Amino acid sequence: MNRPTKALITVVLLAILGGALFWALRSTQQAQVASGQNPTLNLPGLRATQTVELSGLIALDVEPFFKDQRVLKFLADHGVKVNITRVGSRDMAQRVAATGGPDFMFPSGIVAANQIADAAKRANMSATQTTVFFTPMVIASWQPIANILQTNAMATSLQPSVYSVDFAKLVATMQAKTRWKDLKAKDAYDVNKSVLVSTTDVRKSNSAAMFMALAAYTMNNNELPTDRATAEALAKKVADLFKRQGYQENYVNGNFDDYVSIGIGKTPLAFIYENQMLTHALTKPLQPDMVLMYPKPTIVNKVVYVALNEKSKRLGELLAASPEMQAIGLDYGFRIADSGAFMQKAAAAKLNVQEKLNDLIDPPSFETMSLMIDVVTREMSQ
Amino acid sequence: MKFATLSVGALTRAASLALMAALVVACGKSEPPPKPTPKSTDAAPKSVATSTLNVLATSDLRDAQPLEAMVQKATGVTIKFTYGGTMESTEQVLTGKTTADAAWFANAKYLLSDPQGQTRVKLQEKIMLSPIVVGVSESEVARLGWTDTTKVTWKTVADAAKSGKLKYALSNPATSNQGYMALVGVVAASTQKSEALTAADIDRKAVADFLRGYKLVGDNSTYLSEKFYEQQGVYVNAFINYESWLLSMNQSGKLKEQLKLFYPREGIATADYPFMLLNDAKRGEYQKVVDYLKGEEAQSWLAKTTLRRPVNPAVASAVSFPGGTLIELPFSPDRGLADGLIDAYLNEFRRPIASTFVLDVSGSMNNHGRRGDLINALHSIAGADASLTGRLARLSSREKVWMLPFSDNPGKLTSFEFPPATSTANAQKKAEVLEQVRGYATGLEMKGGTALYDAILAALNAMSAEQAKNRSYQYSVIAFTDGESNQGRNFAQFKEAYAALPEDARAIPVFTVAFGEANDSLLKEIAKMSGGRSFDARKTPLPAVFKEIRAYQ
């Protein structure tokens, strides 16, 4: 792996985000150090003399990127041919196999990437994680809802159609089983339903796990759970916020699809990746009363490429370090180290976004996260 | 007794739905012979260049059949729809019994909230939307006092049904998404719960109130519409179904008057039509079809022709639908809720069934194992079929059954009556009566000719007399035969005698079931003139036919 490039990206990011994203790259570096080797590699930009053929499992989130002709051509020019199969991120870890398994996996987020790395470790394989893109978790909502939350001191306006939402207050409101009709100035949404943020099914999806991490952090007085008992207790509380929603979509776009196509009547608040909204805005008409809410504190999803053998490492480098690939990532709504380029893309889509992400939290450790997901899974099946 | 404990099975709701469906399907619902795709899909070799996709679709999607040709033209993929009810199709997918490559359901939440179902479904994409709404004959709106459309809730609907003012058509809650979700809407409105319901929330009184207005019963929307066109303004004044279906009826020109649509406030259940990949080897075909279905051409066609709401935002922004902001009911994945509601519906709330089984015991029934088939079928409805669809078909609490065997002449009428499910003593009694029905079936002996028409007339007269005594039952006649009538009245004489029956008797539907050498066209005619349906046991096994009939009773 070419450390200079990686380090450079880290520095740029640190400068932009005031250190908040340090963790996002730290684990990547650690994984690379752990794998302990750095064989000679073609630098990105140099043509490979030989074509390497790789098979990989990818998540729905990155499928359009991987099917982009520009990406395929770039990779071909650099001697990489990929055969991809789309599967759910959480189903990837079980497909890790020392022989006959895929060469790489590209799940939708860090939770699944860590599960894959863990599965690889148990299979005595070395897994190399490379963060390719990132995107913050946001709440897609509607202007009338934003107005209500603002009146009730849960949200503040940052710019037109963009709000900051006090996540601790919002979670407390959800836990108190407050109904929309109980809120002040509720006329635009005078509804018996409880205030709940809709998520996908945590048993299947990365984004719901990010919700869990963020909710648990705020429920725990802005601390990450570190011990088992605390993590279990928090997971049970979060499970309640999932269960009370009733049926949750169990594929990544399900929740966002409902937001876009059914709208405020079903999903007044939808917990999504920012890139889902930007991708939508880049390709489809935005409804005028759609708004984005950035939770405070917030959490960022890293889109992590996992190489499961030597020959697949290079693809990760090509994706993460070549400006061409990074620029194409913008077309799919992802953020990259070049924040200015991201802002230009959002402006082109006429989508207002928040450039600076303040008050970022880390997700809990892999072990804690796994434990909490297990607890929620158990609670949900009761 | 097995019967009483079945509903509480450790099976998950979805799994039990599934099981029920599985059995029905196992019994061979009229499916076209599917390609024998090996089911262990991961290992399945890619089928060689056969660009086909067999799709199991819920029956409300029959109106989307022209898509077969459109998809073929646009993508080169041959898609072929097979239709089934929601519960039954869910069961087929859950159990892996279906050989379809993909499934397209109005609502797949029953399937997708089940862990087993999640493993069956490899990919999914929502294609279109249609909320379940209440259509009311325009002239009745004022009488109901429903002038402010935004105020109508499922509670309002239940109250109007209770008062006798609202008399509606609805697909069977035990087999269809529309029927089941309507019950859920009523329960949600009565509890005023602000989030997903559980079994503990079932308000039995509210459900009973609502079902007092349930006057037109059936299993598929096409059948219900035909009956509704005839009976609108006489026996029924409302239709609960998908918005798309009711809008289509309004455009059909067949209604006596237009239906005004009410979107129950805070009680909307929207069908979202996920298109799901089941067979991993068909990813390529699946993706092409989905891309086409979500593209502008198909979305515009679906919106304009089938009147469902498009999911493609570009198309959606160009069409408009009534209803305003629709507040969606959370869908409860709680199996106890579904089990409880469906069980309560069948055994407690629905209008109890009173029917006469007209049984052909002519000598020809001894051929080709027909006697055994008939006896087995009677055994299965009398409690031997433990599947979930089996539960639907089984004789239920409060039901009355008469057996009328016939050969050279109509035979002796034997009656069986099941007590209400109110006590363990009654449960015991019910078990005993089921036992008697099974014993009766086993004792059937077959000889002599076929006096079918005389037997049907005798049954109609008997039912009509019972109806005059007690109108709280849903009366019907079910006639089984394997041959042409060759004793007693001929068909012309039968028609004459039928026409002379009192109106009440003619309102009792006759369901006919043909096997052996039965005369199809005449049986169909009998079903048609009486408002029943004809079934063919030569194509569909008898137990499955029974299950279908039950959904129309």
Q: Provide the ipTM.
A: 0.82
The mean-pLDDT minimum among A189-193, B6-10, B337-341, B455-459 falls in: B6-10
Of the candidates B317, B330, B332, which has its C-beta nearest A285's C-beta? B317
| Tokens representing residue B182 in the block | 């309507």
Confidence class of residue B394 from pLDDT cuts 50, 70 and 90?
confident
On chain B, the residues whose CB falls within 8 A of the CB of A262 are 129, 270, 272, 326, 328
What is the reported pLDDT for B32? 41
pLDDT at B395 over 70: yes
Confidence class of residue A17 from pLDDT cuts 50, 70 and 90?
very low
Do A45 and A126 fall into the same domain? yes
Compute the count of residue pairs across chains A and B with CB atoms less than 8 Å apart: 88
Which chain B residue has its CA at the smallest distance from A255's CA?
A: B126
Q: Which residues contact A378 (CB under 8 A, 6 or more apart)?
A: none
pLDDT at A2 over 60: no
How many CB atoms lie under 10 A from the CB of residue A132? 25
Does some domain include residue A360?
Answer: no
| Tokens representing residue A60 in the block | 């729905």
Does some domain include residue A359?
Answer: no
Cis peptide before B173 (omega within 30 of 0): no
CA–CA distance, B342 with B197 (Å, rounded to integer): 15
B195-242 pLDDT, tens digit each: 889 888 998 899 999 999 999 988 778 889 999 999 999 999 999 999
Confidence class of residue B388 from pLDDT cuts 50, 70 and 90?
low
CA atoms within 13 A of residue A314's CA, in its CB half-sphere: 24
pLDDT at A101 over 60: yes
On chain B, the residues whose CB falls within 8 A of the CB of A246 are 195-197, 330-333
Contact between chains at A193 and B194 (C-beta distance less than 8 A)? yes
- Show me where the domains of chain B are located: 2-127+273-316, 131-270, 351-552
On chain B, the residues whose CB falls within 8 A of the CB of A266 are 270, 326-328
What is the bridge-based pairing of β-strands B168-171 and B214-218?
parallel
Contact between chains at B196 and A192 (C-beta distance less than 8 A)? no
Does some domain include residue A310?
Answer: yes
On chain A, the residues whose CB falls within 8 A of the CB of B109 are 247
Do A141 and A271 fall into the same domain? yes
Which chain A residue has its CA at the smallest distance from B191's CA?
A: A192
Q: What Cα–Cα distance (Å) separates residue A145 from each residue in A184, A198, B137, B323?
A: 12, 14, 36, 20
Angle at alpha carbon of residue B538, lines to B537 and B541, rounded to 5°: 50
Confidence class of residue A155 from pLDDT cuts 50, 70 and 90?
very high
Contact between chains at B309 and A261 (C-beta distance less than 8 A)? yes
| Tokens representing residue A184 in the block | 């002040």
- Asked whether A164 and A294 are in contact (CB, 8 A), the reply is yes
Q: Could you identify the residue written with the tokens 């066109």?
A: B229
CA–CA distance, B131 with B73 (Å, rounded to integer): 30
Confidence class of residue B339 from pLDDT cuts 50, 70 and 90?
confident
> How big is chain A, counted in residues?
382
pLDDT at B502 over 80: yes
Angle at alpha carbon of residue B437, lines to B446 and B406, rounded to 5°: 30
Do A200 and A285 fall into the same domain? yes
Of the candidates B112, B270, B327, which has its C-beta nearest A193's C-beta? B327
Does some domain include residue A361?
Answer: no
Do A12 and A101 fall into the same domain? yes
In percent, the amount of chain B with pLDDT more than 90 equals: 61
Do A93 and A106 fall into the same domain? yes
- Asked whether A143 and A265 are in contact (CB, 8 A), the reply is no
Of the candidates B283, B314, B330, which has its C-beta nearest A245's C-beta? B330
The mean-pLDDT minimum among B22-26, B51-55, B344-348, B515-519 falls in: B22-26
B365-382 pLDDT, tens digit each: 998 888 998 998 898 888
Which of residues B34 and A348 earns the better pLDDT score?
A: A348
Helix (H) or strand (E) holding A157: strand A155-159
Helix (H) or strand (E) holding B261: strand B259-262
On chain B, the residues whose CB falls within 8 A of the CB of A254 are 124, 126
pLDDT at B514 over 60: yes
Do A168 and A260 fall into the same domain? yes
- Asked whether B194 and A193 are in contact (CB, 8 A), the reply is yes
Domain B2-127+273-316 shares a fold with domain B351-552 = no
On chain A, the residues whose CB falls within 8 A of the CB of B326 are 262, 265-266
Which CATH number characterizes residue A280's domain?
A: 3.40.190
Distance in Å, alpha carbon of A193 to nearest chain B alpha carbon: 4
pLDDT at B256 over 50: yes
CA–CA distance, B460 with B471 (Å, rounded to integer): 15
What is the reported pLDDT for A266? 95
The residue segments making up the domain with residue A106 are 3-135+303-354
Which chain B residue has its CA at the smallest distance from A281's CA?
A: B313
What is the reported pLDDT for B50? 62
Does some domain include residue A256?
Answer: yes
Distance in Å, alpha carbon of B546 to nearest chain A alpha carbon: 33
Of the candidates A86, A192, A247, which has its C-beta nearest B113's C-beta? A247
Distance in Å, alpha carbon of A315 to nearest chain B alpha carbon: 24
A259-281 pLDDT, tens digit each: 999 999 999 999 999 999 999 99
pLDDT at B424 over 70: yes
CA atoms within 13 A of residue A2's CA, in its CB half-sphere: 19
Do A84 and A166 fall into the same domain? no
On chain A, the residues whose CB falls within 8 A of the CB of B113 are 247
Question: Comparing C-alpha atoms, which of B98, B113, B107, B126 is closest to residue B278?
Answer: B98
Do A143 and A170 fall into the same domain? yes
CA–CA distance, A195 with A183 (Å, rounded to integer): 9
Which CATH number characterizes residue A68's domain?
A: 3.40.190.10
State which CATH number among 3.50.20.10, 3.40.190.10, 3.30.420.40, 1.10.20.10 fits the domain covering B2-127+273-316.
Answer: 3.40.190.10
Question: Comparing C-alpha atoms, which of B429, B333, B338, B441 is closest to residue B391?
Answer: B338
Distance in Å, alpha carbon of A191 to nearest chain B alpha carbon: 7
On chain A, the residues whose CB falls within 8 A of the CB of B332 are 246-247
Contact between chains at B196 and A247 (C-beta distance less than 8 A)? yes
Binding-site residues on chain B for chain A (CB distance < 8 A): 109, 112-113, 115, 118, 122-126, 129, 192, 194-197, 266, 268, 270, 272, 283, 309-314, 316-317, 325-328, 330-333
Q: Mean of the pLDDT values across residues B245-253?
A: 96
Contact between chains at A247 and B317 (C-beta distance less than 8 A)? no
| Tokens representing residue B20 in the block | 């029920």
Which amino acid makes up residue B128?
Answer: M
Distance in Å, alpha carbon of B218 to nearest chain A alpha carbon: 28
On chain A, the residues whose CB falls within 8 A of the CB of B123 are 86, 251
pLDDT at B551 over 80: no
Does some domain include residue A71?
Answer: yes
On chain A, the residues whose CB falls within 8 A of the CB of B330 are 193, 245-247
Q: Which residues contact B460 (CB under 8 A, 6 or more apart)?
A: B477, B498, B501, B505, B506, B508, B510
Q: Mean of the pLDDT values across residues B97-124?
A: 92
| Tokens representing residue B89 in the block | 């199709």
Of the candidates B194, B310, B317, which has its C-beta nearest A194's C-beta? B194
What is the reported pLDDT for B389? 63
On chain B, the residues whose CB falls within 8 A of the CB of A253 are 125
In percent, the amount of chain B with pLDDT more than 70 equals: 90
Q: Which residues contact B230 (CB under 8 A, 6 or more apart)?
A: B531
Which of residues B384 and A12 earns the better pLDDT score?
A: B384
What is the reported pLDDT for A203? 85
The rounded Cα A130 to chain-centroid distance in angstroms is 14
What is the fold of B131-270? D-Maltodextrin-Binding Protein; domain 2 (3.40.190)
Do A9 and A97 fall into the same domain? yes
Q: What Cα–Cα distance (Å) separates residue B305 from each residue in A262, B240, B251, B299?
A: 20, 20, 11, 10
What is the reported pLDDT for A47? 52
pLDDT at B2 over 50: no
Residue of A175, A189, A192 for testing the chain B interface, max B β-carbons within 10 Å: A192
What is the bridge-based pairing of β-strands B128-137 and B102-104?
unpaired
| Tokens representing residue A209 in the block | 């796990």
What is the reported pLDDT for B541? 79
What is the reported pLDDT for B221? 86
CA–CA distance, B487 with A233 (Å, rounded to integer): 77
A49: burial class by Cβ within 10 Å (0-12, 13-18, 19+)?
Answer: exposed
Phi, psi dihedral angles at B79 (to 5 degrees): -105, 145
Which of residues A88 and A58 earns the better pLDDT score?
A: A58
Q: Mean of the pLDDT values across residues A154-180?
A: 97
CA–CA distance, A293 with B490 (Å, rounded to integer): 77
Do A240 and A376 fall into the same domain? yes
CA–CA distance, B356 with B415 (Å, rounded to integer): 9
Structural domain tally of chain A?
A: 2
Which chain B residue has its CA at the smallest distance from A382's CA?
A: B334
- Asked whether B98 and B25 are in contact (CB, 8 A), the reply is yes
What is the reported pLDDT for A197? 97
On chain B, the residues whose CB falls within 8 A of the CB of A284 are 312-314
On chain A, the residues whose CB falls within 8 A of the CB of B313 are 260-261, 280, 284-285, 287
Contact between chains at A258 and B123 (C-beta distance less than 8 A)? no
What is the reported pLDDT for B385? 59
| Mean pLDDT computed over every residue of chain B | 87
Helix A206-219 and helix A110-122, axial crossing angle in degrees, nearest 10: 100
Q: Mean of the pLDDT values across residues A296-303?
A: 96
Which chain A residue has its CA at the smallest distance from B113's CA?
A: A247
Distance in Å, alpha carbon of A177 to nearest chain B alpha carbon: 8
Contact between chains at A262 and B115 (C-beta distance less than 8 A)? no
Distance in Å, alpha carbon of B203 to nearest chain A alpha carbon: 18
Distance in Å, alpha carbon of A245 to nearest chain B alpha carbon: 6
Confidence class of residue A143 from pLDDT cuts 50, 70 and 90?
very high
Contact between chains at B126 and A261 (C-beta distance less than 8 A)? yes
Do A255 and A334 fall into the same domain? no
Query: If DSSP codes are grouped into helix, strand and coil, which group holds residue B218?
Result: strand
pLDDT at A125 over 50: yes
| Tokens representing residue B341 in the block | 């509601």
- Asked whether A112 and A213 are in contact (CB, 8 A), the reply is no
Which chain A residue has its CA at the smallest distance from B269's CA?
A: A266
Q: Mean of the pLDDT values across residues A187-213?
A: 93
Do A128 and A219 fall into the same domain? no
Does some domain include residue A211?
Answer: yes
CATH superfamily for domain B351-552: von Willebrand factor, type A domain (3.40.50.410)
On chain B, the residues whose CB falls within 8 A of the CB of A285 are 313-314, 317
Query: If DSSP codes are grouped into helix, strand and coil, which group holds residue B171?
Result: strand
| Tokens representing residue A149 in the block | 């939350």
Q: Is the pTM of this model over 0.80?
A: yes
Phi, psi dihedral angles at B270 (to 5 degrees): -100, 125
What is the reported pLDDT for B186? 95
Of the candidates A85, A243, A265, which has its C-beta nearest B328's C-beta? A265
What is the reported pLDDT for A49? 62
CA–CA distance, A178 with B195 (Å, rounded to integer): 11
CA atoms within 13 A of residue B247's CA, in its CB half-sphere: 19
On chain A, the residues whose CB falls within 8 A of the CB of B195 are 177, 193-194, 196, 244-246
Helix B542-552 and helix B370-379, axial crossing angle in degrees, nearest 10: 50
Of the candidates A86, A245, A261, which has its C-beta nearest B196's C-beta? A245
pLDDT at B539 over 90: no
CA–CA distance, B11 with B292 (Å, rounded to integer): 38
Q: Mean of the pLDDT values across residues A354-369?
A: 92
What is the reported pLDDT for A5? 52
Does some domain include residue A363?
Answer: no
